[in-house]
C-alpha cells in the first residue's frame, strides 16, 4: 500500500492518494474516503449486483474480523480471500477487529485475548489466532489486534491495562506479519488507543514512535477506543472527540493514513476530516436505514440557490426532527459537562428515533408523496421510486424497504465524501460545516 498526501488545506483537512493495494494494483483512491461497511461479507441488505448500482466495482470494503472468525478453516480451504469468498472480488478489503455497527459488550477482554462476538456467541481471540484469520482473509490492509474496550468513564487503571495488552498484541502482530508470506502484500495499521484521556492517547502515540516499536511494519493508523461501537456513536459531537483525536495524532508521522470506524454523524465526520483523518466507513447510513430513515442533509457547496432539494424551503423539512434522545444513556451523563450546540432540539418528546440529517420513512406524511426521497438525488432509488412507495414498503415491513433505503443512504454518504474532498481542495471545509449546521439546525432555533 502506498499513501501520498497531495494537498493540505489552509481551511483544515488533507487530500491523499491511496494506491498500490495488493488486490487492485492499478486503483487510485482519493482520501478522505469512505469504505463500504459489510455484515457477514455483504453490504447490509445489498446483493452484489445491487451494490454495484450504488458504488464502483472497486470500492474498498470494511470487513470486521468478528464476522469471519467462525469460518477460518473455510477461508483457508478457499484460499482466495474474503472478498472473493463473499462474491465481491475486485473490491479491496480492510479488516478491523470489531464491527463498528454493533455495540461491543464491555468488560469481556482479558489477558488471554480479545473477545469477538460472532453469530454463534463469544470467541476469545489471541494474536496468533487473529493472524491466522488475517492470512485466511487476505485483506489489503488490516488493524492489529487490540483491546479498545475502555468505554467512556473508564478508570486510568483499565486504560493502562488496555494499552499494556494492546502493545503486546501489536508487537506480536508485527512479528507474525513480517514472518508471514501470505501477508506480504497486506498493510498493517497500528491502533491508536488511550480511551478518552488526552494524556493517555498522546502517550500511546508517542510510544508508537519510540524505538520499542518496529515502525517499518506500520503502514497506517486506526483510531480506536473513542467509543465502543454501535448507535451511540452518532451522539458524539465534534466537540466530544476533537481534543482527544488531536492528542492521538499530534505525535505521529503525518505521512501515514489515518482511519477511524464508527457511526459518526456528518458534522463529526467533518470535524475528523478537518483534523486530518483519511479513511471512514459507511455504518452511519446503515444505522439510518435500520431505523427506516432516508438521509437528506445537504452537502453541495456549489449548488445554485434555487436548486431543488438544497434550497432553503425543503431543508425546513428537518424542522420537526428531534435528535435521538439520549438523556438517560450513561454516556450522556458522563459528558454532562460538554456543551451541546443542539441542546434545544434534544428536548425529550415521544418521537421515533431519528436524527436531523434524515427523514423518517415511517412517517405518515409520506403516504401519498409522488416525489423521490430527495429531490435532485441521482441514486437508483430516487430515480425510480417515490416516497409513497418506500413508505408503503416500510409500513408493510417488506424486505425491499431497507434495500431501497440502503441504496439511497449509501449513495448519499458516498456523495457527501466527494463533497468533502471538493471542499478541502478549495479550502472550504468550514463552509461545508456551516452549510450543514445552518440547514440542519438553524430552522430549529426559530
How are beta strands 114-118 and 93-96 bridged, if at all?
A: unpaired
Residue with the three cell numbers 501470505? 182
Rule CB under 8 A: is residue 91 a binding residue for other proteins? no
Please check if 173 is assigned to a binding site. Answer: no
Q: Which is nearer to other proteins, 370 or 446 (CB)?
A: 370
Rule CB under 8 A: is residue 396 a binding residue for other proteins? yes
Q: Which is nearer to other proteins, 48 or 311 (CB)?
A: 48
Please check if 382 is assigned to a binding site. Answer: yes
End-to-end CA distance of the chain: 50
C-alpha distances (whole Å) from 231 to each of 42, 176, 264, 403 are 20, 34, 9, 20
CB of 399 to other proteins, least distance (A): 3
Query: In this structure, are residues 104 and 262 in contact, taking their beta carbons and an 8 Å threshold?
Result: no
Rule CB under 8 A: is residue 87 a binding residue for other proteins? yes
Rule CB under 8 A: is residue 352 a binding residue for other proteins? no
CB of 52 to other proteins, least distance (A): 11
Window 109-128: residues binding other proteins (CB under 8 A): 119-121
x/- letters, 40..79, toward other proteins (CB under 8 A): xxxxxxxxxxx-----------------x-xx-xx--xx-
Q: How many CB atoms lie within 10 A of CB 396?
A: 9
Window 240-259: residues binding other proteins (CB under 8 A): none
Stretch that binds other proteins, among 10-18, 196-204, 308-316, 392-400 (CB under 8 A): 392-400
Q: How far apart are CA 440 and CA 185, in angstroms?
A: 43
SS3 138: coil
Q: Which is nearer to other proteins, 80 or 199 (CB)?
A: 80
CB of 210 to other proteins, least distance (A): 41
318: CB partners within 8 A, 6+ apart = 296, 297, 356, 357, 439, 440, 443, 444
Which one of residues 175, 242, 386, 444 is an interface residue with other proteins (CB under 8 A)? 386
Please check if 94 is assigned to a binding site. Answer: no
CB of 91 to other proteins, least distance (A): 13
Radius of gyration of the chain (CA): 21
Rule CB under 8 A: is residue 385 a binding residue for other proteins? yes
Q: Which is nearer to other proteins, 49 or 327 (CB)?
A: 49
Window 400-429: residues binding other proteins (CB under 8 A): 400, 402-403
Residue with the three cell numbers 437508483? 380
* Three-point CA angle 324, 63, 113, nearest 5°: 90
Rule CB under 8 A: is residue 292 a binding residue for other proteins? no
293: CB partners within 8 A, 6+ apart = 354, 355, 358, 359, 360, 361, 405, 409
CA-closest candidate to residue 300, choices 432, 440, 442: 432
Number of residues this chain uses to bind other proteins (CB under 8 A): 43
* Helix H or strand E segment including 418: helix 400-425
* Annotated binding-site ranges for Zn(2+): 377, 379, 382, 408
Give residues in contact with other proteins (CB under 8 A). 39-50, 68, 70-71, 73-74, 77-78, 85-87, 119-121, 367-368, 370, 380, 384-386, 388-389, 392-393, 395-396, 398-400, 402-403
Amino acid at each position: 500500500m502506498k499513501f501520498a498526501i497531495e494537498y493540505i488545506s489552509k481551511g483544515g483537512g488533507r487530500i491523499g492518494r491511496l494506491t498500490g493495494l495488493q488486490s487492485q494494483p492499478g486503483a487510485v483512491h482519493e482520501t478522505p474516503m469512505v469504505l463500504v461497511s459489510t455484515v457477514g461479507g455483504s453490504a447490509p441488505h445489498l446483493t452484489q449486483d445491487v451494490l454495484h448500482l450504488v458504488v464502483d466495482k472497486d470500492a474498498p470494503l470494511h470487513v470486521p474480523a468478528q464476522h469471519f472468525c467462525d469460518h477460518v478453516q473455510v477461508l483457508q480451504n478457499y484460499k482466495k480471500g474474503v472478498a472473493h469468498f463473499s462474491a465481491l472480488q475486485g473490491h479491496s478489503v480492510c479488516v478491523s477487529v470489531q464491527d463498528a455497527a454493533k455495540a461491543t459488550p464491555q468488560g469481556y477482554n482479558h489477558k488471554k485475548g480479545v473477545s469477538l462476538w460472532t453469530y454463534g456467541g463469544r470467541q476469545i481471540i489471541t494474536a496468533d489466532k487473529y493472524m491466522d484469520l488475517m492470512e485466511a482473509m487476505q485483506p489489503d490492509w488490516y488493524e492489529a489486534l487490540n483491546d479498545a474496550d475502555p468505554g467512556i468513564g473508564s478508570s486510568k487503571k483499565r486504560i493502562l491495562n488496555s494499552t499494556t495488552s494492546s502493545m503486546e498484541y501489536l508487537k506480536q502482530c508485527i512479528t507474525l506479519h513480517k514472518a508471514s508470506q501470505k501477508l506480504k502484500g497486506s498493510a498493517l495499521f497500528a491502533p491508536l488507543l488511550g480511551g478518552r484521556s488526552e494524556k493517555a492517547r498522546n502517550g500511546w502515540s508517542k510510544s508508537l514512535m519510540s524505538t520499542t516499536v518496529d515502525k517499518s511494519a506500520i503502514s497506517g493508523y486506526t483510531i480506536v477506543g473513542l467509543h465502543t461501537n454501535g448507535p451511540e456513536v452518532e451522539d458524539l459531537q465534534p466537540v466530544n472527540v476533537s481534543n482527544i483525536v488531536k492528542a492521538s495524532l499530534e505525535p505521529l508521522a503525518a505521512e501515514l493514513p489515518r482511519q477511524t470506524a464508527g457511526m459518526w454523524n456528518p458534522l463529526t465526520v467533518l470535524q475528523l476530516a478537518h483534523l486530518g483523518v483519511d479513511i471512514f466507513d459507511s455504518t452511519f447510513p446503515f444505522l439510518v436505514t435500520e431505523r427506516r430513515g432516508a438521509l437528506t442533509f445537504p452537502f453541495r457547496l456549489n449548488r445554485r440557490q434555487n436548486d431543488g432539494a438544497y434550497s432553503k424551503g425543503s431543508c425546513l423539512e428537518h424542522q420537526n426532527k428531534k435528535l435521538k434522545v439520549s438523556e438517560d444513556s450513561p454516556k450522556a451523563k458522563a459528558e454532562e459537562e460538554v456543551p451541546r450546540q443542539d441542546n434545544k432540539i434534544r428536548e425529550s418528546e415521544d418521537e421515533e428515533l431519528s436524527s436531523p440529517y434524515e427523514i423518517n420513512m415511517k412517517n405518515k406524511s409520506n403516504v401519498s408523496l409522488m416525489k423521490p426521497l430527495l429531490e435532485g438525488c441521482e441514486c437508483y432509488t430516487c430515480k425510480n421510486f417515490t416516497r409513497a412507495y418506500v413508505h408503503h414498503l416500510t409500513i408493510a415491513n417488506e424486505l425491499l424497504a431497507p434495500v431501497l433505503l440502503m441504496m439511497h443512504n449509501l449513495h448519499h454518504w458516498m456523495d457527501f465524501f466527494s463533497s468533502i474532498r471538493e471542499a478541502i481542495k478549495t479550502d472550504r471545509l468550514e463552509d461545508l460545516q456551516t452549510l450543514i449546521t445552518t440547514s440542519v439546525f438553524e430552522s430549529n432555533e426559530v
